[in-house]
Structure 1
Amino acid sequence: MSDTALRQAGAAPLKPGDPVRIGPYTPLGVLGSGGMGRVFLARPTDGAAGLAAVKVIRPEYAEDAEFRRRLEREAAVQASIHTPRAPRLQGTGFHDDLLWMATDYIPGLSLDQAVRQHGVLDRDTVWRLVAELAEALVALASAGVVHRDLKPSNVLLSLHGAQVIDFGISKAGGASMLTATGQRVGTPAFMAPEYLREGRSDTSSDVFSLGGTLVFAATGQGPFGLGTGMDVMHRVAFEEPNQHILGEVTGADPELGALLTACLAKDPALRPAPQQLVAAAAARPWQGWQQPLHGSLAGLRGAYETLHRMPLAAVPPHPATQRVTAPAPPPGFGPAAEPGRRRGGKALSLTLAAVVAIGALVGGAYALTRGEADPRPPVAQGSVPAVPGGATPDDGAASPLASASAGSSPTPTPTRTREAPSPTPAATRTVTASPTTAPTAEAAPPPVSTPPAEPRWISECTMYGGSELTRYGDKNVRVTQVQCMLVRRGYSVGAAGEDGDFGTATKNAVIAFQESKGLAADGLVGEQTWAALRSAT
């Protein structure tokens, strides 16, 4: 297997201990890892065309009843979406102790990554995004789905167009989204004001988030600023968009500026419907992706074709008779057969729990960082702290900004990722079950031990749980996470402290930490450095 082609496609080579088979797929490389599992770039062993992104969840999460209920909700969402503007599910199943889900692997860049690498998009390219992302919202609305986390890192750009990815916190129909202790889930800078204020979300909320995402594409900035703090939440909920930022759009294209301004209306009734956005974009001519973005996407596609043509090494026979029994599902769980989806070897009995066992990693399979590690570009998927107040329609929880307009200044708790908490770091390892030996009759009962407390850099630094490449010059929540962990490990990140700005002091601290762990001291925070920072030692 060509390591060069793998890295060009956004994957890292496999390591000893990685699985050689995941259901009907042969892993080729690692696309990324997170708190709940790993994502592999894989080939179907039945000779079917195309590559797959196969997400494997750590077994311990399948044992948690609340987690299974969350998966049931996401399963219903994923199964209901049928559009070329969103990822296609290939299949799901159990293999040994691995619970997996496979989607089409599409070589591309997230919008967030595209802007960081190649600069803002020109107005014709932004109009293309209006058309294609509005088509996605039309399909979601037809399926009764509200995405609730539409933002630059959840938009994938490929040679074949734009797609909306990551339905980990989406809502189907009138269902509510389960949250812990009344927290909002999503990214504050791109949330809709009615969701922040009252907990309500519908298709018009996605239109608001789309408006902010398109402003970012055109200017490199969010219309209310970026970040996860209460100040950003207050601006989104109660203030008008930054007129200087919107002025940049309007100055280049008055029609586009007016359209995005309408999308960002505080009153949901004043926002255009997705179909109206499609119609507005249809009247504007646009061509392919601008350069050099098109060249980068073509390079990714070329690497994809190289990997797809390479012969597979010999792999063990498919262990169809050695499946792991699925955990007992909650009431209402049923089979989720996907007609027309390919299956290798003997068919497996699948459940809705298997459909979405990866949770937040579903969309991240396409947008994982490059560099030292895993090519995941998404910005953190944070849960927004809630402030006590009245019940809300979506979550049955208090709105974090219910009292903000009255002049109160609630102290935010640290923003947490929506990935399930894990007692172990998001390291790149394969979890396998270990047999236990029952004590003999003569043996004394084992002593009851108290698990050791998590180190401060794990328990107190929970605002970001991914592993996107983070480097000098970045200003985002990932940097805040890095600084938080470094400070609690005894490193200095400068007088400004944990300000989310990756400056010289933070880079020096990263290098010093890397040297202490025997890592390449390059100042880049990728998969290996993230794993080391999150380790208990």
Structure 2
Amino acid sequence: MNVPQLSTEACAALGFENATWLTQGGQKLVLKGTISTAPAVAKIVCIDPGANGDITLQRAHREVELLSAVESDRVVKVLTDAVEIGDPVVAVCWAEEYLDGEDLRASFDSMWEEPDVWLLLQDMAEALTACHELEVVHRDLSPGNVRRTSDGRFVLMDPGLARHLEKTALTGAYQPGTMGWRSPEHVPGGNPVAASDVFSLGILAFFALSGQYPINPHGDPQAYDRALVEQQAPRISTILPGISLELGDIIDRCLSRQPARRFLDGAELMMELERMDPDR
């Protein structure tokens, strides 16, 4: 099935109107339009024949199921069920709310001020709390999966690689994440947990402030994996001596090599952020 025909069938299945092309990457096509006059995006994931296609289909259904269950303004909202196209299935599609703004890849062109990083931590802690309360680990908290909207707030997106801690037969344990934004538990043989998302959020905050990775991902991938497991990230104050003590302590704890020494989940991080209240 060609792309125009696939887009037409997906729009008809979802009740998606006024569709225009937004982006394409890998197996996913994204359209912008409306659902019942509300701004929305339609996501269409192509399904290859065979076992890999079955995994992709399961992952898409899991993403929509998770988004439907999460109740947080800091997590993108899903507007429809996942709908399969074709027999045999050639694609699966669904609609989500349209988020303006840009993902963090665009924002990381320059270094941030501390108030913006506090807000990133607060909004993502809230988003992770909503996921972790459902026993779900996002596992790919990277710049492409966080949207900075026009009002300056942050929204978590694309939990398609998430792992449900109570449904490991479906979701599996190992997920490599995105190079540069991984936790030590992302290394093969590791077991990502809620604290792994906290580590990845710490990397986002560290990079936003300094323009540097706490653990260098460039070069040999195996060396990067070893560094994640064996090396402690430097204290951010060694890179930015002028950073506030409170923010530095939060980021350093997020980046603790041992999960038990981090904030254990989004809720514990959110409680600490509320206690510190940088706007006092």
TM (norm. structure 2) is: 0.82
Compared CA separation, residues 206 and 52, structure 1 to 2 (3 A): same
Matched, 1:210 2:198: no
Structure 1 residue runs without a partner (length 5+): 1-14, 287-537
Which one has a larger percent helix, Structure 1 or Structure 2? 2
Larger radius of gyration: 1
CA root-mean-square deviation: 3.0
Match of 2:44 among 24, 49, 56: 56
Match of 2:95 among 86, 91, 102: 102
2-structure distance, mates of 1:155, 1:275: 18
Compared CA separation, residues 71 and 54, structure 1 to 2 (3 A): closer
**Maintained 8 Å contact 1:215/1:249:** no
Matched, 1:285 2:270: no
Residue type at the aligned position of 1:171: R
1-structure distance, mates of 2:231, 2:63: 32
Matched, 1:172 2:161: no
Equivalent residues in 2 for 1:172-251, closer than 5 Å: 172-176=164-168, 184-196=175-187, 198-227=189-218, 229-243=221-235, 246-251=237-242
Structure 2 residue runs without a partner (length 5+): none
> Who is 1:275 aligned against?
267
> Who is 1:254 aligned against?
245
> Who is 2:132 aligned against?
141
Matched, 1:28 2:19: yes
2-structure distance, mates of 1:143, 1:85: 15
> Who is 1:157 aligned against?
148
Residue type at the aligned position of 1:260: I
Residue type at the aligned position of 2:242: G
Structure 1 residue 112: Cα displacement: 2.0
**Maintained 8 Å contact 1:250/1:258:** no
Which one has a larger percent strand, Structure 1 or Structure 2? 2
**Maintained 8 Å contact 2:60/2:92:** no
Kindly indicate whether structure 1 or structure 2 has the higher relative contact order, using CA contacts under 8 Å at least 6 residues apart: 1
> Who is 1:363 aligned against?
none
Matched, 1:19 2:19: no
Equivalent residues in 2 for 1:448-459, closer than 5 Å: none
2-structure distance, mates of 1:115, 1:233: 24
2-structure distance, mates of 1:26, 1:72: 22
Compared CA separation, residues 183 and 57, structure 1 to 2 (3 A): same
Compared CA separation, residues 203 and 99, structure 1 to 2 (3 A): closer
Residue type at the aligned position of 1:256: L
2-structure distance, mates of 1:54, 1:72: 14
**Maintained 8 Å contact 2:30/2:42:** yes
- How many percent identity over aligned positions? 24
Residue type at the aligned position of 1:52: A
TM (norm. structure 1) is: 0.45
Residue type at the aligned position of 2:192: S
Aligned residue pair count: 265
Structure 2 SS opposite 1:214: helix
Structure 1 residue 61: Cα displacement: 5.3
Structure 1 SS opposite 2:191: coil
2-structure distance, mates of 1:246, 1:72: 43
Structure 1 residue 216: Cα displacement: 1.1
